[in-house]
């Protein structure tokens, strides 16, 4: 039985990533899917990249993955984000940087689409937080399901005649013939740096047989992850924010 595990925004948090992978195994996930941003913020960018590479799963490029290969950081980045990007760049080998550089911005495999940010401008790194922003992305969505990341906050939207937000816990995505054209957009949250007030790692499971998408929250060794950030010389704020889920 096929089960997809959709995760992203790992951000160098190896402890959170390993906990999510263990939970996916416990839940019977057969096909992992990665929404990008393997690096940035956390202390283990190299290890996280290597684990993703070993999974040999579909991966789309996130903004941190993109910027780390450029040799400079965007002016919109905070000081902490810029420092963490430079840290990741110093740690990574040419092969690892090339892996990130060559990742696609969008991946389509019926019945779903993967993109880190938005379909209307996948390389512009816009955010989907509001109904209007979701509506714009859904306009470009050609598959029944689309999974995104980037905001680090889980959320879900459905569209038939109009777009409406959904409570994202367990969502029925059955293609009801009376609701032809119904489409869904899911933000699966963040593995390594959730920003919805819940420090636990976040990801989603899509079960084609049950025709449902479930949001999962996973405990991990947050103390170890935060101590690694401090020992690596990264900004203290990056360690503290893990506990606040922001």
Sheet containing 183-187: give its strands across.
106-109, 112-115, 145-148, 183-187, 155-159, 163-166
Q: What is the mean pLDDT of the chain?
A: 95
Q: Please name the fold of domain 4-244.
A: Purple Acid Phosphatase; chain A, domain 2 (3.60.21)
Sheet containing 170-172: give its strands across.
31-34, 4-7, 201-207, 212-218, 170-172
pLDDT in tens, 2-25: 999 999 999 999 999 999 999 999
User: Within a 10 A sphere around the Cβ of 240, how many other Cβ atoms?
Assistant: 13
User: What pTM did the predictor assign?
Assistant: 0.96
pLDDT in tens, 140-160: 999 999 999 999 999 999 998
Q: Spell out the domain ranges in the chain.
A: 4-244
Q: Which helix (H) or strand (E) holds 221?
A: none
pLDDT in tens, 180-235: 568 999 999 999 999 999 999 999 999 999 999 999 999 999 999 999 999 999 99
Whether the predicted pLDDT of 178 surpasses 70: no
Q: Which helix (H) or strand (E) holds 242?
A: helix 236-244
Query: What is the distance between the alpha carbons of residues 34 and 234, in angstroms, rounded to a whole number?
Result: 25
């Amino acid at each position: 039985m096929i089960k997809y595990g959709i995760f992203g925004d790992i951000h160098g948090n190896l402890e959170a990533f390993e906990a999510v992978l263990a939970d996916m195994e416990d839940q019977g996930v057969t096909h992992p899917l990665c929404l990008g941003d393997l690096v940035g913020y956390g202390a283990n960018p190299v290890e996280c990249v290597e684990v993703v590479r070993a999974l040999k799963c579909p991966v789309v490029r996130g903004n941190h993955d993109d910027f780390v290969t450029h040799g400079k950081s965007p002016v919109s980045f905070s000081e902490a984000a810029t420092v963490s990007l430079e840290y990741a760049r110093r740690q990574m080998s040419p092969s690892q940087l090339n892996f990130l550089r060559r990742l696609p911005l969008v991946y389509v495999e019926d019945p779903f689409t993967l993109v880190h940010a938005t379909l209307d401008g996948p390389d512009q790194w816009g955010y989907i937080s509001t109904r209007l922003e979701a509506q714009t992305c859904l306009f470009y969505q050609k598959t029944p399901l689309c999974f995104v990341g980037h905001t680090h906050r889980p959320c879900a939207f459905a569209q038939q005649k109009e777009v409406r937000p959904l409570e994202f816990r367990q969502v029925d995505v059955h293609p009801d013939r009376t609701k032809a054209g119904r489409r869904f957009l899911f933000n699966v949250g963040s593995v390594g740096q959730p920003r919805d007030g819940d420090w636990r790692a976040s990801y989603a499971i899509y079960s084609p047989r049950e025709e449902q998408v479930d949001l999962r929250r996973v405990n991990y060794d947050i103390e170890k992850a935060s101590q690694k950030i401090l020992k690596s010389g990264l900004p203290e704020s990056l360690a503290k924010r893990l506990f606040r889920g922001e």
